[in-house]
Amino acid sequence: MTAISDFLVITKRQLLQLVRVPEVLLFATIQPAMFVLLFRYVFGGAINAGVKGGYVQLLMPGIFVQTVAFTLAATAVGLAADMQKGLIDRFRSLPIARSAVVIGRTVGDTAQNIVTLVVMGIVGFAVGWRPSGGLFKTALAFLFLLAFGFSMSWIGVIIGLSVRDERVAQNLVFISVFPLTFLSNAFAPTTGMPRILQYFAEWNPVSTMVAGCRELFGTTNHFGATAGSWPSQHPLAMSLIYMVLIVAIFLPLSVRKYKNASSK
């Protein structure tokens, strides 16, 4: 009972930060919105999407997934900053549940994603994106996106608590998440990639998520792999397996890491 109220206090703290410094949310939203516009108008003309409604139909699920994948960055950077400032030490000296701070953080970052996804959805709609999978499937897609962001956030916890420095965390997540989102079917067909990268892209959780969302939004996945591999045949199931695996591995690790976290 108190464990729940503890993590809610931590989550509330994060949401309060957005109220006190609205610029943070503003920029967190402007960046993906900018991506939507750039990709839509710069690449959209060059890439032959081959689907009804054009490139933007394939692009939107890709950008949605990329954005929630970057929850990892938000979590890692936020926690590294808290470590650096000694705030984690203070939390650890309080009589609160050991899991409260890390759960509060991941839930808070997920809550922030809701706002970002809504804004992106509106921008996407404005430039021609039209999900056609029906209301239920569309809602389910967004649920999948939030869940994926939540699971990525747990990887961020380990990174943030390990590097203990805001700037190091920033650089580290950038060079790891960016390739992950580009070595996928998110923005371009994987068929143009060298053989080995194709293989990687096929099993990449970002690809299975993008493929799954395209399915739910009612768009044929023209950027998917040609090979009939399991992940490309069952993208939603594969995504679900990835998410469960990530949380099952990283949640206990994170709580353990937090218990022994030391700012120096």
Segment contacting other proteins by CB under 8 A, of 6-14, 109-117, 195-203, 212-220: 6-14
Binding mask 52-91 for other proteins (x = CB under 8 A): ---------------------------------xxx-xxx
For other proteins, the binding residues in 96-135 under the rule CB under 8 A are 96
Binding mask 233-262 for other proteins (x = CB under 8 A): ---------------------------x-x
Question: With respect to other proteins, which residue has the nearer C-beta, 84 or 239?
Answer: 84
Question: With respect to other proteins, which residue has the nearer C-beta, 12 or 167?
Answer: 12
Please report the sign of the dihedral spanned by the C-alpha atoms of residue 158, residue 163, residue 166, residue 167: negative
Question: With respect to other proteins, which residue has the nearer C-beta, 100 or 243?
Answer: 100
Number of residues that bind other proteins (CB under 8 A): 25
DSSP assignment of 198-228 equals HHHHHH-HHHHHHHHHHHHHT---TTS-SS-
**From CA 227, how far away is CA 51, in angstroms rounded?**
20
With CA atoms as reference, report the closest residue to 10 among 112, 113, 91: 91
User: Which one among 92, 130, 234, 257 touches other proteins, defined by CB under 8 A?
Assistant: 92
Question: With respect to other proteins, which residue has the nearer C-beta, 94 or 139?
Answer: 94
The helix/strand/coil state of 257 is helix
By CB under 8 A, residue 4 contacts other proteins:
no
Smallest gap from Cβ 81 to other proteins, in A, equals: 9
The rounded radius of gyration (Å) of the Cα atoms in the chain is 19
DSSP 3-state percent helix, strand, coil across the chain (nearest 5): 75, 0, 25
Q: Residue 175: is it exposed, middle or buried by C-beta count within 10 angstroms (0-12/13-18/19+)?
A: exposed
Give the E-state strand segments of the chain in sequence order: none
By CB under 8 A, residue 93 contacts other proteins:
yes
Alpha carbon distances (Å) from 112 to 44, 85, 138, 214: 28, 22, 19, 23
Which residues lie near other proteins (CB under 8 A)?
Answer: 2, 5-6, 9-10, 12-13, 16-17, 20-21, 85-87, 89-96, 260, 262, 264
